[in-house]
């Protein structure tokens, strides 16, 4: 009698209907209509698993982390550091010492600009960013260039909403010390070739700083393969809570950087004559951290891993392609940015002469939640000669039927404004 080979049990691919059951907020009606949430680029919704994990933390093990020797403090510290390990594995970081918890992507980018920038930039140096950046990856560099005397340069974008690579070749040179760019535009949806851009930066001796706020929640991310020096992203855009973000940094660079904030936990020793700093990553984590939020982020990563990042990327690709096709058929509507195959799961558009805030208000009356405004990316809108746009963004819980609801609501807006 021969032993049989065990059958590999492969988890079935999820359905959107099954996923939606995990999101309590999506079960409600808005103005008498089932909620269609198309604003995940701003902030995603949270599954019940994340909500319950944070509630359980507060009910059972809440205490301050690190240095406490009582049972609750040790349990909270374990949960907090387990979250750091989970993040490191999610983006394939070589070490948890390279994972710094911040409040959000914005704080992570400011940390790099102020800590690395103040220590390394000087007059004659250049910082290169792009015109498609979120304000979080523009303003910190403007401020640090004012402080250090370095010069800030911008890579322009093409009419199709992609980087101008001819201009990039001229702008990226031996004077460039930092090349900071988004992996995916929060307005245009443009997915940039991160590994190629990082390689270009390194070829001229510059560090590469990547804004991953829009890419990490939607695309499988491997920081070792990308070879990025820094990558910042936020929990609240990837099914986790607000109030916590992540900065990945290459260990040897982080070790050479001075602290960003001073206070408790980031020190090794404090004397009236001066202080010395804690080891990585704690050197950059001053004060009591967002412990419950780290627990929530950890469970959000579990959820994303269970569904599968490849599934998520493909699901959004299908939704976006369908939405692109349907919106293109609406007379007077213009989509900003590249074709669906070169973009992530969002569509920003202008619709005749209707102000985006009016569009968003009309859609809201139909239960459809979209974003309206400049999306913290005014230079992009300046490029197109507009002040604002309407943005519909898609995630793990959205369906083709919801795209149809969006289209129907847009037709109603057109009827109201009679054009």
List, in order of start, the domains of the chain with CATH numbers: 16-40+308-417 (3.90.1150.10), 61-305 (3.40.640.10)
pLDDT of residue 6: 42
* pLDDT over threshold 70, residue 108: yes
Q: How confident is the model at residue 13 (pLDDT cuts 50, 70, 90)?
A: confident
Check residue 181 and report its DSSP letter. Answer: E
In the annotation, is 145 catalytic? no
Q: What is the pLDDT of residues 147-198, one digit of tens each?
A: 999 999 999 999 999 999 999 999 999 999 999 999 999 999 999 999 999 9
Half-sphere exposure of 264 (CA within 13 A, CB side): 7
Name the band, by pLDDT with cuts 50, 70 and 90, for residue 11.
low
DSSP assignments along 87-118, one per residue: HHHHTT-S-GGGEEEESSHHHHHHHIIIIIHH
Give residue 67's pLDDT: 83
Arithmetic mean of pLDDT, 129-150: 98
Q: According to the model, what pLDDT value does residue 12 have? A: 63
Share of the chain above pLDDT 90, in %: 94
| Whole-number pLDDT of residue 374 | 96
The span from the CA of 5 to the CA of 337, in Å, is: 51
pLDDT tens digits, residue range 287-317?
Answer: 999 999 999 999 999 999 999 999 999 999 9
pLDDT beyond 90 at 134: yes
Cα separation, 233 vs 5, whole angstroms = 43
For the chain, the 3-state helix, strand and coil shares in percent, each to the nearest 5, are 45, 20, 40
Mean predicted lDDT score pLDDT of the chain = 95
Cα 9 to Cα 331: distance, rounded to the nearest angstrom: 49
Residue 53: pLDDT over 90: yes
CB 133 within 8 A of CB 377: yes
Q: Which of 253, 365, 376, 386 is catalytic?
A: 376
The pTM assigned to this predicted structure is 0.94
Contact 380, 132 (CB under 8 A): yes
Q: Closest by alpha carbon to 329, among 403, 380, 385? A: 403
Summarised one tens digit per residue, pLDDT across range 312-366 is 999 999 999 999 999 999 999 999 999 999 999 999 999 999 999 999 999 999 9
Residue 418: per-residue pLDDT: 76
**Residue 289: per-residue pLDDT:** 96
Question: Rounded CA gap, 91 and 86, in Å?
Answer: 9
């Amino acid at each position: 009698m021969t032993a049989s080979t065990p059958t590999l049990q492969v988890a079935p691919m999820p359905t959107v209907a099954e996923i939606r059951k995990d999101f309590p907020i999506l079960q409600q009606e808005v103005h008498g209509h089932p909620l269609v949430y198309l604003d995940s680029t701003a902030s995603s919704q949270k599954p019940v698993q994340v909500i319950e994990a944070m509630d359980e933390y507060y009910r059972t093990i809440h205490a301050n982390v690190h240095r406490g020797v009582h049972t609750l403090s040790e349990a909270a510290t374990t949960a907090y550091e387990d979250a750091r390990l989970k993040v490191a594995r999610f983006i394939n970081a070589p070490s948890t010492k390279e994972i710094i918890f911040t409040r959000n992507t914005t704080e992570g980018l400011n940390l790099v600009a102020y800590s690395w920038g103040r220590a390394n930039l000087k007059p004659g140096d250049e910082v290169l960013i792009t015109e498609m950046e979120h304000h979080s990856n523009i303003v910190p560099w403007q401020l640090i260039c004012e402080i250090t005397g370095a010069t800030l340069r911008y890579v322009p974008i093409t009419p199709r909403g992609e980087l101008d690579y001819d201009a990039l070749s001229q702008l990226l040179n031996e004077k460039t010390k930092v090349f900071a760019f988004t992996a995916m535009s929060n307005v245009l949806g443009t997915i940039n070739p991160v590994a190629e851009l990082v390689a270009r930066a390194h070829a001229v001796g510059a560090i590469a700083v990547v804004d991953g706020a829009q890419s990490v929640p939607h695309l499988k991310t491997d920081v070792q393969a990308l070879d990025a020096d820094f990558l910042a992203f936020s929990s609240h855009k990837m099914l986790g809570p607000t109030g916590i973000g992540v900065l990945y940094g290459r260990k040897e660079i982080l070790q050479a950087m001075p602290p960003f904030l001073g206070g408790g936990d980031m020190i090794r020793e404090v004397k009236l004559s001066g202080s010395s700093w804690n080891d990585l990553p704690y050197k950059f984590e001053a004060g009591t951290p967002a412990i419950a939020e780290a627990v929530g982020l950890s469970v959000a990563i579990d959820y994303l891993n269970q569904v599968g990042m490849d599934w998520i990327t493909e699901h959004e690709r299908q939704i976006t392609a369908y939405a692109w096709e349907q919106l293109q058929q609406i007379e007077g509507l213009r989509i900003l940015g590249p074709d669906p195959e070169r973009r992530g799961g969002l569509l920003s558009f202008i619709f005749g002469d209707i102000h985006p805030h009016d569009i968003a208000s009309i859609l809201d009356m139909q239960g459809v939640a979209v974003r309206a405004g400049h999306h913290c990316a005014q230079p992009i809108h300046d490029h197109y000669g507009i002040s604002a746009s309407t943005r519909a963004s898609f995630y793990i819980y959205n369906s083709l039927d919801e795209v149809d609801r969006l289209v129907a609501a847009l037709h109603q807006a057109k009827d109201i404004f009679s054009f």
